Amino acid sequence: MAFLRKLVRPRFPLSHLFPRFLSDAPSSKTLKIFSEELFIDLRQESGYYLDKTAFISKIEDLNARAIPSLRPRRFGKTLFLSTLFSYYDIKNREQFEQLFGDLYIGKNPTPLASSFLILKRNFAGLRTNETYDVFNADFHE
């Protein structure tokens, strides 16, 4: 049982895990951990964001048609995808400095930044275990 307690409650401060992330945080803000799926909302509400934008240029260098994101639940896959949408979407060109200015990719933008029309589709609400007619109706809503 003692082993389980050590596993559940580590005995080191949280700053040990993310020293740069927490040390850069202004002391006037309280650290709120919450689930936010939209990058733009998170940045406009001055939420904390762990900068993963350095991966954008690495993804572009791959020249791959598809890149699978195989990570467990709650690892930020949706938020990173929203970050990519915001980075490449042409309608965010005027907001680029506000959204990405202090992040890695804002200081090192790629030529493809804000240069695409983005069509976003979400298939999470489709009922795939129902009949074809129910699936088709959900798809066309």
- What is the DSSP code string of 87-130? HHBGGGTTTHHHHHTTSHHHHS--TTTT-B-------TT--TTS
Q: Which tokens hold the place of 64?
A: 């791959």
Contacts 24+ apart (CB under 8 A), 13-18: 18/50
Percent of the chain predicted with pLDDT > 70: 74
pLDDT of 85 above 60: yes
CB atoms within 10 A of CB 81: 14
Residue 18 lies in a domain: no
Are the C-beta atoms of residues 37 and 82 closer than 8 Å to each other? yes
pLDDT of residue 4 exceeding 80, the answer is: no
Any domain includes 12 = no
- Give me the pLDDT at residue 5, please: 46
pLDDT, one tens digit per residue, over 14-66 is: 444 444 454 455 555 555 555 557 899 888 888 778 899 999 999 999 989 99
DSSP 8-state symbol, 28: T
82 assigned to some structural domain:
yes
- Average pLDDT of the segment spanning 62-80: 89
Higher per-residue pLDDT: 89 or 120: 89
Please classify residue 111 by burial: count the beta carbons closer than 10 Å to its beta carbon, then call 0-12 exposed, 13-18 middle and 19+ buried: exposed
Residue 25 lies in a domain: no
The number of residues in the chain equals 141
- Residue range(s) defining the domain that contains residue 109: 39-63+76-141
User: Is 15 within the bounds of a domain?
Assistant: no
pLDDT, position 138: 83
Amino acid identity of residue 121, one-letter, is: R
Helix (H) or strand (E) holding 56: helix 54-62
| Cβ proximity of 127 and 134 under 8 Å | yes
**Predicted pLDDT at 104:** 96
Structural domain tally of the chain? 1
Any domain includes 51: yes
More confident residue, 26 or 137: 137
